[in-house]
Amino acid sequence: MGTALTPGNTDYSIIVADRGGQLVGYVCYGPTPMTEDTYDLYWIASAPEVRGQGVGAALVSAMEGDLRRRNGRLIRVETSATEAYGPTRGFYASMKYGEEARIRDFYKVGDDLIILTKRL
């Protein structure tokens, strides 16, 4: 795992996972505007061939460690309520992220926005 930051940009932090020199996943996160010590997890992705092998969990754990060092207190994640995102919600639940809010029919009728949070 390594950290890559765009020079001069403090809005996004990226941690990447590699195996044998090949990129197999990343997490992108940053401070939530107009808040104190709250962060958004914007994107997390892992290559299909490493799913279920702990890459996502390692990336989230690395992000959380970084945010603890920054005195972060709350992480927010937005996701969809559709069945296709069931595994995603299960992943976040396994990482101790809980549903904080739901906006019904946000993405489209029948597709709610779910806001998950974790306190550090």
Averaged pLDDT score across all residues of the chain: 93
Residue 69: exposed, middle, or buried by beta-carbon count in 10 A (0-12, 13-18, 19+)? exposed
CB-based contact 40:76 (threshold 8 Å): yes
Topology classification of domain 2-119: Aminopeptidase (3.40.630)
Under-50 pLDDT residues of the chain: none
What pLDDT was estimated at residue 11? 87
Single pTM value for the model: 0.88
Tell me what pLDDT residue 7 has: 57
Query: What is the distance between the alpha carbons of residues 22 and 82, in angstroms, rounded to a whole number?
Result: 31
Q: Where are the domains of the chain?
A: 2-119
